[in-house]
Structure 1
Amino acid sequence: MNFATLDLNLLRVLDALFSEGSTVKAARRLAMSQSAVSGALSRLRHALDDPLFVRQGNRLVATDYASGIESGLREEFERLEALLAPPATFDPRTAEGTFRIAASDFFAELLMPPLGDRLQKSAPKLRAQLVDLVPNDYVASLERRNADIALIPDLKLPDWVNREPLFHSPFHVIARKGHPKLGGLQEGMQMHMDTFCALHHVLFSPEGNLAAMGDAALRRVGRQRQVAMTVPVFSGVCRAVSESDLIALVPAQLAKKVAKTFGLRVFEPPMSIEPALIIGIWHKRSDSAPMPTWMRRQVFELMKGLDLDS
């Protein structure tokens, strides 16, 4: 038998014949004519090289070969029925699974603690993983199933990716407490442009770039800053600033969150910087999947609370 050319609809007929023992009853069960069932049985006999049934009075009796495959065929149909059945109602209290979030370590500070608390209370068997956000590879991580969602700055996306706006992230300047050049500047005030450009900066850049949004804003007013180092994680930026006379531009929400922990002072930048829009993206194939849908909702609710205008 060449399985590749076998009409699998014939197996439905075979299953009905096993159950009914009659071409008439099988036809009624399948909403087919008796002649169509008889024709299907003939093709099955040819394909499987076995009579499959012999007539005994008014009933068809399975051959030894057919009897040997009857239970296995029924099990396969049951497995297919379960596979194709609509998903059961999702209950986060009992659901199990892993949800991967591709994002920078900004979200280790601002998302994962409240998400962990929420999951412990409402979905204790679900696991959340924050995985590295690979530069210039956001979409590919979704396509390869390395992540269920990615949290990124707004950008152009292919048609098969869905997006949801989450929050706007303005920028603040951070410096260590006791910085010798900033003693006369009160926290929350705008740093003077000359001071900002004279001091050395540490720049967040996973790619190792020496310029970012702040540099573009400076160029618009004919100024530039001095980038002394780049660091691929925000925690490293904050640590470098806390233990040196370097300063940095970081998202305002992060500055507010970690200032006390790292012993930092926070100031307004001297130039206008358009706040970055942070979005959540995911593959459309998981639009209706119960667990990813529920997890996206939890993540997005927490992230929308970060909008400083909310």
Structure 2
Amino acid sequence: MGIDQVNFATLDLNLLRVLDALFSEGSTVKAANRLAMSQSAVSGALSRLRHALGDQLFIRQGNRLVATDYAAGLEAGLREELVRLEALLAPPAVFDPQTAKGTFRIAASDFFAELLMPPLADLLQKSAPHIRAQLVDLVPNDYAASLERRNADIALIPDLALPDWVNRAPLFHSPFHVIARKGNQGIAELKDGMQMPMEVFCALHHVLFSPEGNLAAMGDAALHRVGKRRQVAMTVPVFSGVCRAVSESDLIALVPAQLASKVAETFGLRVYEPPMEIDPALIIGIWHKRSDNAPMATWMRSQVFGLMKVLDVDS
């Protein structure tokens, strides 16, 4: 049976919600949990969908259901139509942060655990006590994936090319500073705030922030332009681990300037200007266009972005 033969007059539209959940979860158990249904009810709905659409829709592959080619062609369009239907049926309401309830997920590195979440916690306690904020990991190599899969409402990332269904807002520029522990003999003659000499920077061993375990980053590109190299002794997937490693060893690290300033006293660190010129990274906030007019998401974006923009070195 082809799609043009489906009798929409008799098709239960609730089945489309089940189909969307199966696309997202790849499992009847997980889809049932998402929809607050029993697994048997989801399995029954899948059987009815198969009959109505004349296609298997999903093939079991290990522990996961994999969409057939026919079903895969329905996924994006189905989700867009369900989002439109939800927006159409949603009653108009004035958003009141004091009474609003919900969860807002922020995909970002742990840099923001230090610089965003503390002031956001204070803001929400005072202005929106029933809204829960969650900081979640970024999807490696695909920052937009969390938004597409609804695992995050916004992502805070370096500026880069993005799909046309993603909206963006510039937040702040982040230059880089060098951190070293106060007892590091390699920097004994240097005072806080000085520019670290190139020979010292290249002689000392580095710990590098890299969730993927890469051995090079922006600092290495800047060094390459002046014909120099640094010695990376360790990579760590979180900034807190970078700072901890530096605080308890003679390793040094290049980190965002705002983070260096925030944690220097806590970790007993000295902070220096790097010996080479590194273009400051522009940090942006991104979100899916489907959330442009969602009241809670709009309000939360405004609060989060406002807290971030004060970090700009030019502000």
Q: Deviations over 1:101-152 (max 9, x none)?
A: 0000000000000000000000000000000112112111100000000000
Pair 1:236 & 2:247 matched: no
Distance across 2 between alignment mates of 1:87 and 1:239: 49
Q: Secondary structure at the match of 2:141?
A: coil
Distance of 1:273 and 1:213 partners within structure 2:
7
Query: For the residues of structure 2 that align with 1:7 and 1:175, how far apart are their CA atoms?
Result: 66
Which residue of structure 2 aligns with residue 152 of structure 1?
Answer: 157
* Deviation, structure 1 residue 82: 11
Give SS of 2:185's match: coil
Residues 139 and 145 in structure 2, CA contact (< 8 A), matched pair in contact too = no
Match of 1:291 in 2: 296
Partner of 2:266: 261
Q: Which residue does the alignment assign to 1:217?
A: 222
CA distance in 2, matches of 1:190, 1:274: 16
Task: Note the residue ranges of structure 2 that are not aligned, 5 or more in a row.
Answer: 1-5, 13-84
What letter corresponds to residue 290 of structure 1 in structure 2?
Answer: P
How far is the alpha carbon of 1:4 from its aligned partner?
Answer: 3.0
CA distance, structure 1, for counterparts of residue 255 and residue 138 of structure 2 = 18
Tell me the equivalent position of 1:106.
Answer: 111
TM-score by length of 2: 0.73
- Could you list the per-position Cα deviations for residues 85-110 of structure 1 after superposition, in whole angstroms to 9, with x for gaps in the alignment? 54310000000000000000000000
User: Which residue of structure 2 aligns with residue 90 of structure 1?
Assistant: 95
Question: Is 2:251 the partner of 1:250?
Answer: no
> Structure 1: how far apart are the matches of 2:197 and 2:87?
67
The reply to whether residue 134 of structure 1 matches residue 132 of structure 2 is: no
In the alignment, what sits opposite 2:57? none
**Cα distance in 2, alignment partners of residues 221 and 162 from structure 1:** 36
- Give deviations 1:200-237, integer Å, cap 9, x for gaps: 00000000000000000000000000000000000000
Rg larger for: 1
Residues 85 and 99 of structure 1: CA distance in aligned 2, closer, same or farther (over 3 Å): closer
2:73 is matched with which residue?
none
Count of matched residue positions in the alignment of Structure 1 and Structure 2: 238
Residues 80-89 or 214-223, more deviating: 80-89
Q: Shift of residue 81 of structure 1?
A: 11
**Could you say what secondary structure the match of 1:235 adopts?**
helix
Structure 2 distance, partners of 1:135, 1:6, is: 43
Give the TM-score, by structure 1 length: 0.74
**Ranges in structure 1 where 5+ consecutive residues have no aligned partner:** 9-79
Cα–Cα, structure 1 residues 247 and 81, in superposed 2: closer, same or farther, change >3 Å? closer
Q: Give the aligned partner of residue 125 of structure 1.
A: 130
Is the alpha carbon distance of 1:3 and 1:111 closer, same or farther for their aligned partners in structure 2, counting shifts above 3 Å?
same
SS of the equivalent of 2:227 reads: coil
| Aligned with 1:187 (options 183, 187, 192) | 192
Cα distance, 1:3 vs structure 2: 7.1
Q: Please tell me the residue identity of whatever aligns with 1:254.
A: L
Counterpart amino acid of residue 114 in structure 1: P
- Mapped to 1, the partners of 2:262 and 2:270 lie a distance apart of 12
Write out per-residue CA displacement over residues 257-286 of structure 1, whole angstroms, 9 at most, x where no aligned residue. 000000000000000000000000000000
1:65 is matched with none
Mark the CA change 1:300 to 1:82 in structure 2 (over 3 Å): closer, same or farther.
closer
Q: Distance in 2 between matches of 1:271 and 1:90?
A: 49
